Amino acid sequence: MRLVCDGGGATDTMEGKASSGADHITCVQSSVYDTLVFPTAEGSVQSNLAESWSSSSDGRTWEFKLKKGVEFHNGKSLTASDVVWSLSQHAVPGAKNGDGRNIVGNFESIRADDSNTVIIVQKEANRDLPIQLSAYALLVAPEGTANWNEPGRGTGPYMIESFEPGVRFIGKKFQNFHREDQGWFDSVDVGCVLESATRTNALMTGAADVIGNPEPKTAKRLSKVGGKVLEVVPSGQHFLTAMRCDADPFTNEDLRLAIKYGIKRQEIVDKVLYGYGYVGNDHPIGKNYQYYNPDLEQREFDPEKARFHAKKSGYGGGVLELKVSDGIVSGSVAYGQLMQATLRDVGINVEVKTVPADGYFSNVWLKTPWCASYQNPRPTADWILTNGYSSKSPFNDSGFNSPALDKLLSSARGEADDQKRRQMYYEAQRIVRDGAGNTVLAFANFLIGSTDRMGHGPIGAQRRLDDARLTRKWWFKT
C-alpha cells in the first residue's frame, strides 16, 4: 500500500519524546510502534498493549494490565519495565513532545508492579488518563532503546525495511503482530511530498493508493474521477492566528478584541476551506466534542465594535505584522490576506509576511508577536484546552496566562459528577474566547484521497489520516 502525505523533515525520528506530530513521521511511528491503549474513531479508548485498566476512587491511581505474548520485532517479549521506561522518557530534560510532557508531567510515580502490571499515580486526578495514553507520541520501545529508527524496536504491524527521514519509509508485515484486526498489508510505502498538487497527481496517475490533505480548492474533482474517492471527515482541527498576550502590542486586550471583531470568518470558510469546515468562535472546542458550549454567542464581523476597541486600545494606525507560511499552516497566506482586507476597512493596518516553512516552528511560532497557527484535535475537551491555553503548556501559542482557567481545568479533570464537569468546561470556553490571544477562524474537515480499492471502517478524526493510523486500519478490498 502506497501512502503519500506531507509533514516530514530531514531531522525526523521515530523516538516518542521527540515526536513533532507532523503527518509523515506520525504515520511512520504508528506503523512501527504501539501505544498502551488505542483510540477509537468515536473518541473512546480500546485495549492495545494494555488489555485492561482500573482506577482508585479518587481517580489518582491507575493499574494497567498488559496483554501477554506481545513481541518486539527482534523477538523480545514486552514487559512492564519497557512501558515504564518508555513513558518516563517524556519527563527527562530535553523531551520535546508537548503532549507527552503534559501527560507524563502529571505522574507522581510510575512503576512496574510485576512483569505484567504498570501502576501510575498522578499528582492530580485526571479521569481522562486512559484516552490520554493513546496519544501518538506515547510509544513503547524496549527499555534502554538508544536509536528508535533502528529495526527491531517496535511491536507494531510493520517492521522497518528502510527509512529516510522526511522522504520515505518502507515497512514489511510483522508476522507475530499481536492484533488480528489491524495490519492488513504485506508491506507499506509511506512517502513524504510537501506540495499538495504533486500528491494529487500521484493519486491520479496511479503512483499512490492514498494521499493525505489534498488541496481543498481541487479536492472535489477527485470524487468525480472514476476509480477515485474523496473522504471528508469532520474534525476538531482548527486554524487560527496567535497574538501573544505577553508581547507588545498584543498585551492590550482591546487591540486583540478589535482584531477578533474585524474578521469575516465565513468568508475564510468559503474562500480558503472551500466549504470543508465551519466558522470558529475564538475557543478550541469543536461542535463534535462532548463538552462543547452551545450557549456562547457566535462572534461575527462587527466593524463598529472593532473600531471601538481599536480606539480604546490607543492603536494609532501603525503596521501590525502577521507572519504566515502555507508550508506549515495550509491556506494561511490566503486567510491572512482576507483578514488584512477586512481589518483595513476598520482602520487596522496589517502587513502579511510570508515566511519559509523551514524553521517556522523553531523561529516563528511561540517567538513572534503574531503568526498563523493551527491546532490538531485531541480526544477530550480538557486535553485540547489544557494543551493550548494552560499557562504551563508548551503549546500555549498566545502566551495566555489565566490563573482562573488553570484552577478551573484542574478541578474539572478530577470531578466525578458529569454535570458539574460540563459546566466547568463551558466556563473554560468562555474565559478563552473572551481573554486569550487566538483568533480561532475556522474548523476544518480532514480530507483523504484514495483509489476505490481501499477499504476502511469509521475514520478517526483526532489526527489526519485516520488518527495517523491509516496504515494499520485500512485494507485492500478483495
Buried residues in 294-314 as b, exposed as e (16+ CB within 10 A):
eebeebebeeebbbbbbeebe
Q: How many CB atoms lie within 10 A of CB 94?
A: 7
Residues contacting residue 468 through CB under 8 Å, at least 6 positions apart: 23, 26, 27, 29, 30, 136
- pTM of this prediction? 0.85
Three cell numbers at 322? 502577521
Q: What is the CATH number of domain 14-154?
A: 3.90.76.10
How buried is 227 (Cβ within 10 angstroms: 0-12 exposed, 13-18 middle, 19+ buried)? exposed
Q: How far apart are CA 111 and CA 474, in angstroms?
A: 35
- Which residue in 318, 435, 437, 265 sits closest to 366, CA to CA? 437
Q: Which residues, in sequence order, are CB contacts of 377 under 8 Å at separation 6+?
A: 235, 236, 237, 286, 384, 461, 462, 463
14-154 against 238-444: fold identical: no
pLDDT at 223: 79
What class, spelled out in words, does domain 238-444 have in CATH? alpha beta
pLDDT mean by block of 10 residues, the chain; 478 residues: 93 94 95 96 92 96 98 98 98 92 94 98 95 96 97 98 97 98 98 93 96 89 90 94 98 98 97 95 92 96 98 97 91 97 98 93 95 91 93 92 97 93 97 98 96 96 94 96
Instruction: Identify the pLDDT of residue 258.
Output: 98
Domain boundary assignment for the chain: 14-154, 238-444
